[in-house]
Amino acid sequence: MNLERIPALDGLRGIAVLAVLFVHLYSTQTTSMTGELVLRIAQFGGNGVDLFLVLSGFLITTILLNGRHKPQYFRNFYARRMLRIFPLAYFYLVLAVVVPAICFPSTNTIPLINSLWLFAFASNIAAYLHIPIQWTANHFWSLAFEEQFYAIWPWVVRWCSVKALTLITIFMLIILFVCRLLVISLNWDHQFPFYMRCDGIPMGALLAVIYKHRQSAETARLSKASLFGIILLLAGLVPLGLAFHGRQHQLIELIHGTVSAALFGMMLLFALSTPPSNLIQKVLGSSFLRTFGKYSYGLYVFHPAVAGPLESFCSVTTLQNLFHSDVVGSFVWMLGAILISFSLALLSWNFIETPFLKMKKHFDYS
């Protein structure tokens, strides 16, 4: 079964990217109670990155498990990964980081040499070392962590047994939780270090191992168990999120990575284990969500660079005044930004990504 072509998984990708767009593009400029409520809801969109990481960990680990005993395992994996990620990432970095720095040096306060951290997929390390990078590429921290993880993970999957992989992923989740506990307890600086937001990949990897080696009779039980887990986690997560909106609270910082990874892991299992006739499956398989899922990589990469120019051309405040509503004005501005980002993602898919994706046939696991 080709997991990458399951409609529900594309739907989950669509939800993830829409959540990220919502939190990044919905304006924080609000004075009304309704606007404040919408803003609180929008902040949950930051969890879209965690959903991306869970999906990534699950799909990549499944691919590795399926191909680990086949010839050219390492060559095929690394080549296919580079063909998927590098072309668009480097195109964007040249366009949004290098070109502005060269053409408008007076407005660029960050040394161009710092962009090497971006090209090396190490911007998360740069942030930890307090090395500034261009704001248009701040979101590359998640891509950086993924590439660092997948540089090592294929070797672990190739040589470890199923039991060992299960124990390793569980150990990783425990270590991440302990790291957060130490950082918070000792009051260390923890701006974007890897151990604050990367539980999703080991959680997805753990679920890949469990799901691949499940018995067929266990699928129905997985569906019920995952649904129960979703309800239980949401019952605790949503009230906490609303209560501590906009505040750095130690409890939230401690449990956020673990709870988010567990919640999205349960969502993933539910999507995989429920029959196609299920209402949730139909929603996740809708053309709307699947379309956003298909172009999710381009949307994620391009959307930060859209916000600045659009704000200069037509500010959020202008639209809020035009519609006499901070909520309506913010939504209209956000929809405009999403439309532009989607157009760029569509162009990217057809003229940048697809030509390189076609080259994957030269590195087929079969």
Rounded to the nearest angstrom, the gap between the alpha carbon of residue 46 and the centroid of all alpha carbons in its chain is 9
Q: pLDDT tens-digit profile of 210-265?
A: 888 775 556 667 777 777 777 777 766 666 655 555 445 666 667 778 888 988 99
Average pLDDT over residues 334-362: 97
Distance, in Å, from the CA atom of 356 to the CA atom of 261, rounded to the nearest integer, reads 31
pLDDT at position 248, please? 53
Cβ–Cβ under 8 Å, residues 333 and 310: yes
| pLDDT band with cut points at 50, 70 and 90 for residue 195 | low
pLDDT at position 221, please? 72
φ, ψ at 129 (rounded to 5°): -90, 5
Domain segments of the chain: what residues?
A: 3-363
Q: pLDDT tens-digit profile of 297-345?
A: 999 999 999 998 999 999 999 998 999 888 899 999 999 999 999 999 9
Distance, in Å, from the CA atom of 327 to the CA atom of 34, rounded to the nearest integer, reads 7
Distance, in Å, from the CA atom of 363 to the CA atom of 361, rounded to the nearest integer, reads 5
Distance, in Å, from the CA atom of 67 to the CA atom of 233, rounded to the nearest integer, reads 34
For residue 6, pLDDT over 80 is answered with no
Cβ–Cβ under 8 Å, residues 50 and 260: yes
pLDDT at position 298, please? 98
For residue 286, pLDDT over 90 is answered with yes
> Largest Cα–Cα distance in the chain?
65
Cα Rg for the chain, rounded, in angstroms?
21
pLDDT at position 2, please? 55
Q: pLDDT tens-digit profile of 54-101?
A: 999 999 999 999 999 998 999 999 999 999 999 999 999 999 999 998
Q: Count how many Cα atoms sit within 13 Å of the Cα of residue 52 in the half-sphere of its side chain.
A: 26
Q: Which of 225, 328, 227, 335 is nearest to 281 (CA)?
A: 227
Distance, in Å, from the CA atom of 207 to the CA atom of 340, rounded to the nearest integer, reads 35
Q: Which amino acid is at 83?
A: L
Average pLDDT over residues 167-195: 78
